[in-house]
Amino acid sequence: MKRLLVLFAVLSITAVLGIPAAVNRLSPAKIEKNGTMVHMYSHSTGQIVNLSVDDYVIGVVAAEMPAEFPEEALKAQAVAARTYILRRLTGGGVSNPIHPGADVCDDHRHYQAWISREEMKKRWAIRYYQYYFKVAMAVYSTGNEVIIYGGRLIDPVYHSSCGGAGTFSAGEVWKVDDPYLKGVPCPYDADPDPTRVAAFSMSDIKRATGEDISVLPVAGPRGFFQVLEKTAGGQPKTVRIGGKVFSSTAVREMLGLRSARFSMDMEDGVVKVTTRGYGHGVGMCQYGARGMALKGKDYSEILKYYYTGVEIADGN
């Protein structure tokens, strides 16, 4: 309610003074300075806590990106996290069917992950002061900066690592395509361990996909697994497992894979799934941001690289 009053006040002032539309569109960041609070549901306590936007963003950066990452990568993460919450707060109301009364929560499966200072102390131990300062500096030094496309706050999705294979366009992973979420190569990806192998029994596969591959002649030329369609970046888009066709993202979900970039082999009756990277692969690649920062790129270059055609705007 308080936020609505502030918003109303800002809009009224804007109307009276006739501030140009370009500035008007950036008013979300202005509201932040006037004391906007984030109402965040905490899964561990079951309570809603009220946080300043800065404190919310600090907790998100601490939770979502390793604090050892270079400062410019942390700053890119801070601007992305700030854009996310301001878009949510100003996106036409705060109705939230998941957690009534809250804008967001601290679970990455629902919104962005967030950790408290207590959790930071546990996670970082002796490095707590060093890392807290580093993360807070990344947040404060980027002021009120947000990412905009066509004058509007973007949906700044990000993922851990593309494994150096390049990012996906949003439309390759989700049904909705955004013009700024285009797949790009990721030459500086600094993921030290991009490829992983997970083993599944044939009954695991049957439980997850409904396909009984134990009855198939696996030695045949078409085998139990086939990539039917690839994305522009050459990654599997649709695959066949046994006699069924799935999107690679559906298989990722069903088997709990690290990414949708995978191949499958069978060895001695065990299905070996080799994945590359970690996460959905859309938007900013965090290990790519790390690599770009190590190459001397700054946070704005990093963000403009992973979000096509965007601008970094100061809300002031």
Site for Zn ion in 180-219 (CB under 5 A): 186, 189
Pairwise CA distance, residues 183 & 236, whole Å: 14
Q: Select the residue interacting with Zn ion from 54, 71, 107, 119 (CB under 5 A).
A: 107
Select the span of 67-75, 103-111, 216-224, 250-258 touching Zn ion (CB under 5 A).
103-111
Smallest distance, Zn ion to C-beta of residue 26, A: 29
Q: Does 288 bind Zn ion (CB under 5 A)?
A: yes
Query: Residues near 7 by Cβ (< 8 Å), separated by ≥ 6?
Result: 31, 90
Smallest distance, Zn ion to C-beta of residue 146, A: 23
Contact (CB, 8 A) for 69 and 78: no
Pairwise CA distance, residues 242 & 251, whole Å: 13
Site string for Zn ion, 62-101 (x = CB under 5 A): ----------------------------------------
Tokens describing residue 51: 């946080």
Q: Give 105 or 239: the residue with its C-beta nearer to Zn ion.
A: 105
Residue 83: CB atoms within 10 A of its CB come to 26
Smallest distance, Zn ion to C-beta of residue 107, A: 4
DSSP characters for 131-150?
HHHHHHHHHHTTTTEEEEET
Site for Zn ion in 126-185 (CB under 5 A): 162
Q: Does 110 bind Zn ion (CB under 5 A)?
A: yes
Q: Does 236 bind Zn ion (CB under 5 A)?
A: no
Pairwise CA distance, residues 48 & 29, whole Å: 23
Contacting positions for Zn ion (CB under 5 A): 105, 107, 110, 162, 186, 189, 285, 288
